Amino acid sequence: MKAVITVIGKDRVGIISMVSAECSAHNVNVIDINQTVLDGYFTMIMVVEISEINTSFSAFADLLAQKGKAAALDIRVMHEDIFNAMHRI
């Protein structure tokens, strides 16, 4: 089971490190990272494996959203199925 973590905001030192540290702490394996600048915003997309996650999906998503908010970043964790549903026939 995979999830997609997206980080949108102003670029700064340590964003990937912060998100990766939380993934590691919760037994979430990072499969792919992609980053780009879109409309002036730093955008990072991380695909992660969440089958072995050691907390609830909601708690993990909330934690990253809060960490993001504290750093003026919009961080979302979303189950991959929403993207598959929307963009695959």
Q: Which amino acid belongs to residue 49?
A: E
Q: What are the backbone angles phi and psi of residue 2, rounded to the nearest 5°?
A: -115, 155
Minimum distance between the CB of residue 12 and another protein, rounded to whole angstroms?
20
Binding mask of the shown chain, residues 19 to 58, with x at each position contacting another protein by CB under 8 A = -------------x-x-x-x----x-x-x---------xx
Distance separating alpha carbons of residues 44 and 89, to the nearest angstrom: 26
Distance separating alpha carbons of residues 12 and 51, to the nearest angstrom: 30
Q: Which residue stretch of 13-21, 22-30, 71-79 sits at the interface with another protein (rule: CB under 8 A)?
A: 71-79
Other beta carbons less than 10 A from residue 61's beta carbon: 18
Report the interface residues with another protein, using CB under 8 A: 4, 6, 8, 32, 34, 36, 38, 43, 45, 47, 57-58, 61-62, 74, 76-87
